[in-house]
Structure 1
Amino acid sequence: MKVIVAGTVAIDDIKTPNDERKGLMGGSASYAAMASSFFASTEIVGIIGKDFPNAHIETLQSRGICTEGIEKSDGDSFYWSGEYHENMDNRTTHEVAVNVLEEYKPKLPEKYRDTEIVLLANMRPRNQLDVLDQCSGKKYVIADTMDIWISTERNELLELMTKVDLFVINESEAKLLTETKNLIVAGKKMMELGPNNVIIKTGEHGAMLFGKGDDEFFRTGAYPLESVEDPTGAGDCFVGGIAGFIASIGQNNPSFNDLKASIARGTVMASFNCESFSVEALVELDENKISNRLEQFFNYTSF
């Protein structure tokens, strides 16, 4: 099975307490597609401007990612500039320029439309719905989101939730969407909105998985890192690893145990991502390193 990843492709300028880098490849689709590509054949959908470095496209292609779905526009690329503070959890956004995303409507190449696993990485819910409208056949649909869409496109987001199999959201967004402070309550409330399963990302504390059965709940920690170079895109790599693993086992109707296994892969991919700026750690990654870290993660979290 293959994975289609639709989302943003961006240029990032990032500053951390230890370093500062400019002109990095960013965007939800870029990170998620890179992570997915270690497990399954992956296609990407997004838009870039005339200023987007060709070297970044070549980075995606070096992982075997099909880039035919990246539309090239005459405008400037989506741009984000941010600074992480000492604890690496809190960050300040200095500038966001939507640019080519302002009027963007995703267009799926014909060859993408029957891809079995659809990952709607973080972008406007109306664009996520546009992607789904162009898909054909039986799909397993995963969707990620963020706080701004809960506030500005809530109706579209709620419509999307009725059409996805797995909904992924972080803890602050889950509380915002469900208007509750308890994550267990939030997870159950989101399940009532349509998805078959919900994952709440809890950052350095891991993730929670909710299912429809009375005993279908799973909680795991994150992979322990001694240092974090740049956490940008970790959540996108997490969901990309999940999508890629589901495709790798040939399941467009994964069981709860399959999803638990996918979370382990997503967790490991996110951990590698945090060890460098942009996707640099993923460029240097190989399957042996993934297997070794996965084995360590299982050892760390088993009883």
Structure 2
Amino acid sequence: MSLLVIGSVAFDALETPFGKTDKIIGGAATYISLSASYSTKPVNLVAVVGGDFPQSDILTLEEHGVDTEGLQIKADEKSFFWSGKYNKDLNSRETITTELNVLGSFDPLIPDAYQNCKYLMLGNLAPQVQRLVIQRLVNRPKLIVLDTMNFWMDIAAEELLATIEMVDVLSINDEEARQLSGEYSLVKAARKILAFGPKFLIIKKGEHGALLFHKNKMFYAPALPLEEVFDPTGAGDTFAGGLIGYIAATDDCSFENMKRAVIHGSAMASFCVEKFGTERLLNLTQEEIEAREAMFEELVKVQPAAVVESVR
């Protein structure tokens, strides 16, 4: 089913305890689109880059089933650029440089061919820009997923709440859930956030997995212990792309299918962290993905217990 992805396409420069890179392709929409492309095609992309963005990187996206009609190219401007350095545990990072460039004035223009999309993934952007996308669509998509971050909670809380009210699924991490709700308990936080409007809430916990909430239901997906983790930069966006791609492919927004989508998204994210940037997402096979999903399922699989008579 048709999928529309909004977000940043950018340059990243990364340093982790395992190495460093110069400018490589990054951005939320890049990771989301590549991840989703393994489940559904085409992935319709709306984003903006500068004249410095290589045509070869655009071609790479297109070769993976990403439709770039909605990718604006501002020839006389520079692309969004972020550089950062991760600490030894990879759970925290230091931002070295942030250059908004073209992203600072991004006006998301929706091509006519994208207007009837059934699924919409709003990658991390200013909440007023995310809301503008929803308002510019002639027909409301069947499912709208929103990703955001604590930066917008700090400087645009009212705008963010107004946008959250319009979506079906909110995807944030545990720190952001606590900040948004004012509750330390993630169960209490989920109850309060769901009252803001979304039908589903996903709370990402990094190396500790992810929680899915819907009404009075809850699901926990573990994280897969990996032998090697090189770069967690795009893991959250890769998770979101896997999630929305799976839902679009199955065209099923039930809680049970959302649980399967969370497992699929977690599997995709586990691939992403194995190499720098998008490298691992460029050469996956369906066999690898299915095998990785099976590993996730095995983590929580329990055989029925034998009946044990109580001893009095």
Alignment of 1:54-203 (within 5 A): 54-73=55-74, 74-139=76-141, 140-203=143-206
For 1:96 and 1:177, locate their aligned partners in 2 and report how far apart those are by CA, in whole Å.
24
Contact kept in structure 1, 2:134 and 2:140, CA below 8 Å: no
- Which residue of structure 2 lines up, in the alignment, with residue 267 of structure 1? 266
- Which residue of structure 1 lines up, in the alignment, with residue 237 of structure 2? 236
Query: Residues 135-175 of structure 1, C-alpha deviation per residue, up to 9 Å, x if partnerless?
Result: 23241100000111111111111011111011111111111
Per the normalisation by structure 1, the TM-score is: 0.97
- Which residue of structure 1 lines up, in the alignment, with residue 220 of structure 2? 219
- Which residue of structure 1 lines up, in the alignment, with residue 283 of structure 2? 284
Q: Give 1:11 deviation, angstroms.
A: 0.3
Percent identity reads 37
Secondary structure in 1 aligned to 2:22? strand
Query: Residues 178-201 of structure 1, C-alpha deviation per residue, up to 9 Å, x if partnerless?
Result: 112111111111000000110000
Contact kept in structure 1, 2:222 and 2:299, CA below 8 Å: no
- Which residue of structure 1 lines up, in the alignment, with residue 256 of structure 2? 257
- Which residue of structure 1 lines up, in the alignment, with residue 207 of structure 2? 204
Secondary structure in 2 aligned to 1:89? coil
Secondary structure in 2 aligned to 1:8? coil
Give the superposed CA RMSD. Answer: 0.9
- Which residue of structure 2 lines up, in the alignment, with residue 7 of structure 1? 7
Q: Give 1:263 deviation, angstroms.
A: 0.1
Q: Give 1:56 deviation, angstroms.
A: 1.5
For 2:223 and 2:18, locate their aligned partners in 1 and report how far apart those are by CA, in whole Å.
23
Query: Residues 81-107 of structure 1, C-alpha deviation per residue, up to 9 Å, x if partnerless?
Result: 001111111111101001111111100
- Which residue of structure 2 lines up, in the alignment, with residue 36 of structure 1? 36
Q: Between Structure 1 and Structure 2, how many residues are aligned?
A: 299
Q: Give 1:261 deviation, angstroms.
A: 0.5
Query: Residues 10-51 of structure 1, C-alpha deviation per residue, up to 9 Å, x if partnerless?
Result: 100001112110111111000001000000121111100111
Gaps of 5+ in 1: none
Secondary structure in 2 aligned to 1:57? helix
For 2:127 and 2:71, locate their aligned partners in 1 and report how far apart those are by CA, in whole Å.
18
Query: Residues 218-257 of structure 1, C-alpha deviation per residue, up to 9 Å, x if partnerless?
Result: 1121122111011111000001101000011123xx1110
For 2:301 and 2:135, locate their aligned partners in 1 and report how far apart those are by CA, in whole Å.
41
Gaps of 5+ in 2: 303-312
- Which residue of structure 2 lines up, in the alignment, with residue 21 of structure 1? 21
For 1:75 and 1:21, locate their aligned partners in 2 and report how far apart those are by CA, in whole Å.
23
- The structure number with the bigger radius of gyration is 2
- Which residue of structure 1 lines up, in the alignment, with residue 52 of structure 2? 51
Q: Give 1:209 deviation, angstroms.
A: 0.7
Per the normalisation by structure 2, the TM-score is: 0.94
